[in-house]
Structure 1
Amino acid sequence: AQEHGVRLVLEALHPMFAADRAVISTLGQALDLAEPFPAETVGVVVDTYHVWWDPDLERQIARAGAEGRIAGYQVCDFLLPLADDALLSRGYMGDGFVDFATITRWVGQAGYTGDVEVEIFNQAIWDQPGDDVVATVAERYRRHVLPFL
């Protein structure tokens, strides 16, 4: 990747996906794997759905920022009960358990100024009219994320 000017980005997935989908469960593990490589070659993404639970998250976000490795910030909420496919248990910001104010503040304090991606995988939301979804996402973003950037 480095020889071709491509940046690889590692993303920790919630530990419930360790059995069938992922081998990286924490931001710290992603940073450890990235560490031998230049930051412009290997970065990380902070996805609230996957990392909100991590008791070491504040320190690892600060570490990622200090190393210049934060390549993206993704927001959506963690809902219970889990859907049959846990990956589809994402919700609008404010409907679940993620502390967006705190995590977003940490990401901003770490120096991240890039895009914030709203990434919601949820069949019930996908089944809603698109204009309603966009309006809800915009309103929730303004309320739960934007003030803390």
Structure 2
Amino acid sequence: MKAAVCALVCICLGSTWKGAASQPVDSSSNNDIQKLSRRYAESTIASDISKIMDSMVQKNFVNFLLDQKEKKSDSTNDIQKLNRRYAESTIASDISKIMDSMVQKNFVNFLLNQREKKSVPTAGDPDISNFNDLLKKEFVMWLHSKGSAFKNQ
């Protein structure tokens, strides 16, 4: 489009310069006519160029408005997608919290069941009685050592 405008300007200017070169310069009336015709030609060229440029600006403006409308519709779609993603992520987060609490409850229940299943060792068990005797001896020795340390002070 710009190349067509430039070509049009060059053709018009070239034709006015050719007309000026073909006329003899010796007569003043011819010069006045030539000047008037050149001014007329230049003004019509400027007017034509102005009209072409105005139509180009109008087309560009319409294209700009159409592009903005498309961008706006795309942005509303993007906002809807983001809202949907946010909602999905909050739902997933809520579900994971619920699942975590269920797992914790199940684990506590498992531990309690295991504790109940374990039998309390009886006093008649020989390993337990040996362990208790050993603990009593250690405790008595510790008391004697503390008592003797207290007496020495």
With normalisation by structure 1, the TM-score equals: 0.18
Structure with larger RCO (C-alpha < 8 A, sep 6+): 1
Give the structure with the larger helix fraction: 2
With normalisation by structure 2, the TM-score equals: 0.18
Give the structure with the larger strand fraction: 1
> Rg: which structure is higher?
2
